[in-house]
Structure 1
Amino acid sequence: MNDLSGKTILILATNGFEQSELDVPHAKLKEAGATVHIVAPEAGEITGWDQKDWGRAVKVDKTIAEVSADAYDAIVLPGGQMNPDTLRGTPEALTLIKRFFEQGKVVAAVCHAPWLLIDTGIAKGRRLTSYNTMKQDMINAGAMWEDSEVVTDKGVVTSRKPDDLPAFVAKIIEEVNEGRHERRAA
């Protein structure tokens, strides 16, 4: 079922997100009927990175301080190198991601965004994928890393790169429709 009517999804990003890794999930999840909010540490706009140069700005719908995991069905974490690296240093972002995980909600990370799964402790003991240069980071964090287009472990969805976005978004939709996921700490 590809219908996300009545579902609300949060995309967490800051300056330097990989443009397609925010734009594609944002468009496709809205197309599936979800309400999608772009959330950032600060209000205003955030600017993407489009492969080799700055991309375009997108409007921030809400700040981290204005949201709660309670109001959403899933969190999507775009990659790029700068975006997740900056968010790793933002304690409120890590706390928000952990709350989604603790509530059994979908946590989806693409490319370099699984760094956030390392820093929240979510990676440990889970089957995950990421951009290939992060393989050792993931293994060192206790993840069972796979070189696959998309890997899902009890509602934690990870994907490697922008080419994998169609499969990534399809898996997010499937997992959101499944509902809450029973998890235990690794």
Structure 2
Amino acid sequence: MRIAFLTAREGVEQVELTRTWRAATDAGHEPVLVSTQPGEIQAFDHLDKADRFPVDEVVGDTSADAFGGLVLPGGVAGPDFLRMDDKAVAFVRDFCAQGRPVAAICHAPWTLVEADVVRGRVLTSWPSLRTDIRNAGGTWVDEQVTVCDRGPGKLITSRRPRDLKAFCEAFLAEFAAAER
């Protein structure tokens, strides 16, 4: 399965990108780095610059139809930049409308809030997003990982880098189920 990993030009939490990417690759999937602009993205280790990664596709030049699933890595700044990009928000909304699985960790649910796809759904995130999720009509829970199948498609969400093992296991299981 081709899996879109959507990030902004900068601000993605490196470990949330690299660990999920490796998990997808190890499971036989084809991860594709999709961003708002061509070139490279700048990853961060919390607030410090980390590595750069080449962009495979630009969000405005591709569509959800080209992928079986979507991963939204977190970070403090990256998801905030993504939710301000109309094409990125539409890309996420399209995945959900088509019933394709979407996995988001840490601050990444901000983009789900902006895409207006959390209403009536249960999800988790970095704790500071709980009010945003509730205000968008979702139910926030403080759990390592949640899988919500209310609405079209499944939302797989997780709180923080410490939860990456459980997050990867959950989204890989849901992506495999979607392939069947």
Q: Does 1:52 align with 2:51?
A: no
**1:152 maps onto 2:151 in alignment:** no
Report the Cα distance in structure 2 between the residues aligned to 1:78 and 1:173, rounded to whole angstroms: 14
CA distance in 1 between partners of 2:176 and 2:38 (Å): 30
Task: After the TM superposition, list the runs of 4 or more consecutive aligned residues in structure 1 that deviate by more than 4 angstroms.
Answer: none
Q: CA deviation at 1:160?
A: 0.1
Given the alignment, which residue of 10, 14, 18 partners 2:4?
10
Please state how far the C-alpha of 1:49 moved relative to its aligned partner: 1.0
Write the mapping of 1:46-85 to structure 2, written as runs, cut at 5 A.
46-85=41-80
Matched letter for residue 121 of structure 1: D
Residues in 2 aligned to 1:112 and 1:146: alpha-carbon distance in whole angstroms:
14
Listed one character per residue, the Cα deviations across residues 19-40 of structure 1 (whole Å, up to 9, x for unaligned) are 1111111111011100110000
Letter in 2 for 1:95: A
Give per-residue Cα distances to partners, 1:127-148, cap 9 Å, x unaligned. Answer: 0000011111211111111100
SS in 1 for 2:11: coil
SS at the partner of 1:104? coil
CA RMSD of the aligned region, Å?
1.0
Partner of 2:174: 175
In the alignment, which residue of structure 2 is the partner of 1:121? 116
AA in 2 matched with 1:11: F
Query: How do 1:84-103 residues align onto structure 2 when only pairs under 5 Å count?
Result: 84-103=79-98
Q: 1:23 aligns with which of 15, 18, 26?
A: 18
* Aligned-pair CA distance for 1:109: 0.7
Given residue 25 of structure 1, which amino acid in structure 2 is its aligned partner? Answer: T
Distance (Å, rounded) in 1 between the aligned partners of 2:117 and 2:173: 20
2:176 paired with 1:143: no
Q: Distance in 1 between matches of 2:136 and 2:60?
A: 28
| Unpaired segments ≥5 residues, structure 2 | none
Distance in 1 of aligned mates of 2:107 and 2:49:
17
Name the residue aligned to 1:3.
Answer: none
- The SS at the match of 2:15 is helix
Q: Which amino acid aligns with 1:66?
A: D
Question: Can you give the 5+ residue segments of structure 1 that lack an aligned partner in the other structure?
Answer: 1-6, 181-186
1:65, CA displacement in angstroms?
A: 2.1
TM-score by length of 2: 0.94
Look up the match of 2:160.
Answer: 161
CA-CA distance at 1:68 after TM superposition: 1.2
